[in-house]
Amino acid sequence: MKKVILTGLRPTGNLHIGHYFGAGINYIKYQDNYEFYLEIADIQALTDNFDNPEKVKKNITEITMDLLSIGLDPSKVNFFIQSKISEIAELTVIYSNLVTVSRLQRNPTVKTEIMQKKEIFGNNGESITYGFLGYPVSQAADITAFDGELVPVGDDQLPILEQCREIVRKFNSIYSEVLKEPEQILSNTTRVKGLDGNIKMGKSLNNAIYLIDSDEVIYKKIMSAVTDKSKIKKDDPADPNVCMVYYYHKLIGNKDNTDIVCMECKKGLRGCVDCKKQLIQEMISFLKPIRQKRKYYEQHPEIVENILKEGTFKAKAKAKEQLQKIKKAMKIDYYDF
Ligand code: TRP
């Protein structure tokens, strides 16, 4: 029997190359070795986008197309929509008795996010909603509803997984050993840096190259990428290690080519504009197969819809079984009809 692997993405925007190298390429490997559930976490997205359900709705298909275009195979991966699995909502309510409010308030991920969302939750988090504070509980429900054993996440999510394991242990100690403690799989590529040199590529930072960016957009973005500031003239020698252009050459190019870029940069044999133009071509060729695949799905929205429907249908059956097991352990399986 294959182990269950589960991860989730909030449908709030398109995927960028940071998502691709940080997570997506690993998903492609997992799909062959595990029973893979990929949750489009719309309910979680609503916790900080409650006033913008249209955005969440639109991004459900956008993100699914992005994931399909990088090579996830819908016959191997169960794509499902969180809000369609009411069992997750039920489990969230059940688990809410197993966690204290102060423990949630001390969760480092939640704390950081509250600080980042001052305009919604107030300067000191005084306007935090019950739903946002409780999203780790709902995420524990996401994972355990499928008996998830392995959970690929970024390091920012580790406290959320720790919280999930605490809920699992508490449940098992009160009722019986029904739930599995999930293990994280940290993505092995470190964070992809942004065009501005920020250690994180991110939507809110406005420094990302998206998988769907057009040639013109890629051109503009790479032309504006941060290079070695000490280099003034075309033939000044420079330090490739402080240059984002070299950084992306390394990320997507082959080693021989990258070595040449590095050597020429150090010796002052390569101007930044030419170096950027070369990277633009490489980036466009790198994204080409992804964009072609995406185009197919864009032209066939009914296929995307079916993938989501079928995946959700299968996920629902699994979650239903798991919820029954959980209710039985709690002895609240009365009056089942
Ligand atoms: N919180 C995760 C994120 O923002 C997304 C997510 C939702 C998730 N449900 C999940 C990740 C379950 C792993 C498992 O990245």
Q: pLDDT (tens digit, 9 = 90+) per residue, 309-327?
A: 999 999 999 999 999 999 9
Do residues 152 and 30 lie in contact, with contact meaning Cβ atoms separated by under 8 Å?
yes
pLDDT of residue 337: 73
Architecture of domain 215-294: Orthogonal Bundle (1.10)
Q: pLDDT tens-digit profile of 59-72?
A: 999 999 999 999 99
pLDDT of residue 190: 60
Q: pLDDT tens-digit profile of 160-215?
A: 999 999 999 999 999 999 999 999 998 755 689 999 999 999 988 999 999 999 99
Residue with the smallest CA separation from ligand 1 atom 8 is 8
Domains 4-192+301-330 and 215-294 share a fold: no
pLDDT of residue 155: 87
Instruction: Out of 4, 5, 7, give the residue to mutate to test ligand 1, the one with the largest number of ligand atoms within 8 Å of its CB.
Output: 7
Q: pLDDT tens-digit profile of 105-131?
A: 999 999 999 999 999 999 989 999 999
Distance 247 CA to ligand 1 centre (A): 28
Share the mean pLDDT of the chain.
95
Is 136 near ligand 1, meaning CB less than 6 Å away? no
Helix, strand, coil shares of the chain as percentages rounded to 5? 60, 10, 35
Q: Residue 336 above 80 pLDDT?
A: no
3-state SS class at 44: helix
DSSP-assigned letters across all residues of 121-154: H-TTSTT--HHHHTHHHHHHHHHHTTT--EEEE-
Distance 153 CA to ligand 1 centre (A): 7
- In the 8-state DSSP scheme, what is residue 85? -
pTM of the model: 0.95
Q: pLDDT tens-digit profile of 263-276?
A: 999 999 999 999 99
Is 142 near ligand 1, meaning CB less than 6 Å away? yes
Instruction: Out of 91, 149, 157, give the residue to mutate to test ligand 1, the one with the largest number of ligand atoms within 8 Å of its CB.
Output: 157
Do residues 181 and 148 lie in contact, with contact meaning Cβ atoms separated by under 8 Å?
no
Is 139 near ligand 1, meaning CB less than 6 Å away? yes
**Single-letter amino acid code for the residue at 23:** A
Packing angle of the helix pair 158-174, 108-116 (nearest 10 deg): 130
Query: Domain 4-192+301-330 adopts which CATH fold?
Result: Rossmann fold (3.40.50)
pLDDT of residue 188: 58
How many CB atoms are closer than 10 A to CB 163? 21
* Domain coordinates in residue numbering, the chain: 4-192+301-330, 215-294
Q: pLDDT tens-digit profile of 13-58?
A: 999 999 999 999 999 999 999 999 999 999 999 999 999 999 999 9
Q: pLDDT tens-digit profile of 203-240?
A: 889 999 999 999 999 999 999 999 999 999 989 999 99
Is 153 near ligand 1, meaning CB less than 6 Å away? yes
Is 311 near ligand 1, meaning CB less than 6 Å away? no
